[in-house]
Amino acid sequence: MIPTIQWDNDHIRMIDQRKLPARVEWFVARNYRDVIKAIQRMVIRGAPAIGVAAAMGLAMGGRTIKAGTYGPFMRRLQAMAAEMAEARPTAVNLRWALERMLRLAEGMSLEPVDVIKAALRAEADRILAEDIAVNQSIGRHGASLVPDEATILTHCNAGSLATGGYGTALGVIRAARDAGKTVRVYADETRPWLQGLRLTAYEMMEEGIPVWVIADNAAGSFMRQGRIQLVVTGADRIAANGDVANKIGTYQVAVLAKENGIPFYVAAPLSTIDPAIPDGDHIPVEERDPAEICQVGGKCVGPQGVAALNPAFDITPARYVKAIITEKGILYPPYSDTLKRVLEGA
């Protein structure tokens, strides 16, 4: 399992995913604003990993607050959390983790500030440990959906690098392999950041799981040829009705899967479900720098000055999702009912 993020004494170090697979390099965040930069600049990415980074970043930031009484300390902590919440708008785990950390501090108003700071650090550690355990549970549930022999298509990277460890979609693949099933992976390259080529292929090769990278526009052809048995992706936010926000290109993969009679599964923790969002039309979709579209490896390959559009995510309507794999089990339509029921029981 590839480590994603960890404490380095009082600082935070995270594997710089922009440098993979050429080299393994660690980015060290020395204050909470460094964590914000790491999230914005794709040093760390993937909804669960961003949530873990936010929790650890807020704990680190809280430690530096000089206020000696609860009121001023809490106001500064809330301001830090508000700053961090703006780092990336689509991945709901960012906000979920920050709200969990703030709730903890709000419930400790009678405690000394130093005690609250220590509790925030311990809570961030719990969020990291829980994320790994949750992903392993998702993997076990999802493995039951994988045939004894299967080629699985995945889009973007939803492995150890996108989480605290183990992975969601890749966790399902790992668990299926560990259960004795013969699995092979087709990884969409995933333009423009090439997370499939650089990260998913890297993780699968490290695991010894056979993997082939395919161009994003080749998935439909391979499906039509009968070379793909199922699709598993992660998610950055799931609306109350089961609509899914995930890396741009996921929607077209889901449509192609349905056209070809191939099950399309989403693997995600309950923390990725946002019951306050009624449907996908209400999920904010991050727009990134258009230059990312025109560049490969930092080098411009298009005509100078060409206009480009660069949404980082798209919305897959719930009707294309055969099941959502969570740590509490496999959820089936109608998602308005099953998501509500599992969240109420969580």
- Give, rounded to a whole angstrom, the gap between the first and last alpha carbons of the chain: 27
Do both 185 and 318 map to the same domain?
Answer: yes
pLDDT of residue 299: 87
115: CATH: 1.20.120.420
pLDDT of residue 3: 82
Where helices occur in the chain by DSSP H, the ranges are 32-40, 47-63, 70-85, 92-106, 113-143, 169-178, 195, 201-207, 219-224, 250-259, 291-294, 335-345
Do both 237 and 300 map to the same domain?
Answer: yes
Query: Residue 239: is it exposed, middle or buried by C-beta count within 10 angstroms (0-12/13-18/19+)?
Result: buried
pLDDT of residue 84: 98
163: CATH: 3.40.50.10470
Do both 230 and 273 map to the same domain?
Answer: yes
| Domain end among 108, 136, 164 | 136
Beta-bridge mates of residue 150: 183
Do both 212 and 285 map to the same domain?
Answer: yes
Do both 106 and 166 map to the same domain?
Answer: no
Cis omega (within 30 of 0) for bond into 303 = no
pLDDT beneath 50: ranges in the chain: none
Check: pTM over 0.85? Answer yes or no. Answer: yes
Work out how many domains the chain is built from and give that number: 2
| Domain end among 77, 112, 136 | 136
Which sequence positions are flagged as catalytic?
A: 236
Do both 103 and 195 map to the same domain?
Answer: no
Do both 177 and 108 map to the same domain?
Answer: no
CA–CA gap between residue 150 and residue 153 (Å, rounded): 10
Do both 113 and 177 map to the same domain?
Answer: no
| Domain end among 115, 136, 157 | 136
Range of the structural domain that residue 125 is part of: 5-136
Helix (H, G, I), strand (E, B) or coil at 307: coil
Do both 132 and 149 map to the same domain?
Answer: no
The whole-angstrom distance between residue 246's C-alpha and the CA centroid of its chain comes to: 9
Do both 86 and 201 map to the same domain?
Answer: no
CA–CA gap between residue 123 and residue 129 (Å, rounded): 10
Do both 161 and 127 map to the same domain?
Answer: no
Give φ, ψ of 67 to 5 degrees: -60, 135
Do both 112 and 214 map to the same domain?
Answer: no
pLDDT of residue 2: 75
